[in-house]
């Protein structure tokens, strides 16, 4: 990995890209389309705290890099939430190395990994079968150089067995602490959902929708202005009044989008 002191996002993404084949270095922006087509972004151009749709290999690689991040930089605790129980059993030597650099390791997976915990000092293992955590994957390092990747299962690619994941990465210590506490609460049966993740996803989706609506309406207004300049005789008082009324109606519609999102935030997912 690059030396400490670099921009943490750049440091993380450069290492992820180094491990990925060239065909896996694009990610899809979440809740965004352009002419009804997905919007793809280069991995190195993605931003923290923004939602993307990750294919299986980049999502898994991002989690692996965060585990190695803990081994390199240390921290208070490493949390691994992995939906693939069988693969965890092959990570014993890797976790032993990480255990020397962090105070504790928390492994959450749909399977009994008690044997792994017995072999590694400071490793806590919990079976999350039947909980909301079973549909998530995450890697979280809590400490001097905090980092988080959290994603929810988003379906599978057509004609493949590989999953897709809706999620984000972050370096915000306050957000990491909040997410870490919620993961622990769900794992111990004190909560039923990752409410912060759901609220952030709803907020991002709302923001993207408002942005699309504004861009679309802006293009229509620009066309109307260009037409009025070419043919000022067409901009009659009645037509001008109609444009103003349409603008007022559009502002009301845009206000309703975040209001509906806020009302839905408190409702549990089905």
Helix (H, G, I), strand (E, B) or coil at 186: helix
Task: Give me the CATH code for the 8-192 domain, please.
Answer: 3.30.870
Tokens of 214: 């504004």
pLDDT at 106: 93
pLDDT at 266: 53
pLDDT at 172: 95
pLDDT at position 24 over 90:
yes
Average pLDDT, the chain: 83
189/167 Cα distance (integer angstroms)? 23
pTM: predicted TM-score of the whole model, two decimal places: 0.79
Which of 3 and 56 is assigned the larger pLDDT?
A: 56
pLDDT in tens, 60-116: 999 999 999 999 999 899 999 987 765 666 777 888 889 889 999 999 988 777 777
Q: Are 94 and 87 in contact (CB under 8 A)?
A: no
Residue 62: which of 146, 142, 151 has the closest Cα?
151
């Amino acid at each position: 990995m690059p030396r400490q002191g670099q921009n943490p996002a750049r440091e993380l993404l450069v290492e992820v890209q180094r491990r990925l084949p060239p065909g896996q270095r694009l990610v899809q922006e979440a809740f965004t389309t352009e002419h009804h087509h997905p919007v793809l972004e280069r991995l190195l151009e993605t931003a923290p705290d923004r939602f993307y749709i990750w294919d299986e290999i980049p999502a898994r690689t991002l989690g692996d890099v965060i585990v190695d991040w803990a081994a390199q930089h240390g921290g208070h605790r490493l949390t691994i939430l992995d939906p693939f129980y069988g693969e965890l059993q092959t990570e014993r030597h890797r976790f032993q190395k990480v255990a020397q650099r962090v105070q504790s390791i928390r492994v959450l997976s749909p399977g009994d990994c008690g044997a792994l915990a017995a072999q590694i000092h400071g490793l806590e293992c919990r079976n999350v079968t039947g909980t909301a955590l079973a549909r998530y994957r995450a890697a979280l390092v809590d400490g001097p150089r905090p980092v988080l990747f959290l994603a929810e299962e988003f379906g599978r690619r057509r004609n493949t067995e590989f999953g897709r994941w809706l999620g984000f990465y972050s370096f915000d210590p306050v957000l990491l602490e909040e997410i870490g506490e919620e993961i622990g609460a769900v794992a111990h049966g004190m909560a039923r959902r990752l409410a912060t993740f759901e609220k952030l996803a709803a907020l991002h989706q709302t923001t993207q929708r408002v942005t699309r609506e504004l861009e679309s309406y802006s293009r229509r207004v620009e066309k109307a202005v260009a037409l009025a300049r070419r043919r000022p005789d067409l901009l009659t008082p009645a037509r001008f009044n109609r444009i103003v009324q349409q603008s007022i109606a559009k502002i009301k519609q845009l206000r309703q989008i975040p209001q509906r999102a806020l009302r839905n935030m408190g409702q549990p997912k089905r």
